Structure 1
């Protein structure tokens, strides 16, 4: 992922996790055509609670810059967590 850097030992000790906002997005013109997108939330949301709290503004900003797509589902996930279907 672009912009992701290794966390320092201090950040890891403080509970910082590499977090992503994982979205299932579909084309407006063909709603059955979907794919996964990820937003790196590590800096602004270093744990799942803060990721969830900050997700609405990140989703709105992403949606505003991708008018041909719609967000069908989303979740916060740690970078190392196994992939799950949305």
Structure 2
């Protein structure tokens, strides 16, 4: 599973982009992704303090992700 992120730079809020977190497990269940997403998002945010997560969602690895 992947967590797809819409993020913006804190110092320049109009500068936004998309990023992803590749979860280490292969479960295809959105419920499993949602259950594990909080800790993954917190870790990502701690590693990227200059960015703010505006939106996120879970997606199955190997699918064509739609826009956030």
Which structure carries more relative contact order (alpha carbon 8 Å, separation 6+)? Answer: 2
Question: Any gaps of 5 or more consecutive residues in structure 2?
Answer: none
State TM-score, norm by structure 1: 0.71
Q: CA RMSD in A?
A: 1.3
Q: Which runs of 4+ in 1 moved over 4 A?
A: none
The 1-side partners of 2:65 and 2:2 are apart by 11
The count of corresponding residues between Structure 1 and Structure 2 is 67
State TM-score, norm by structure 2: 0.87
Question: Any gaps of 5 or more consecutive residues in structure 1?
Answer: 1-18
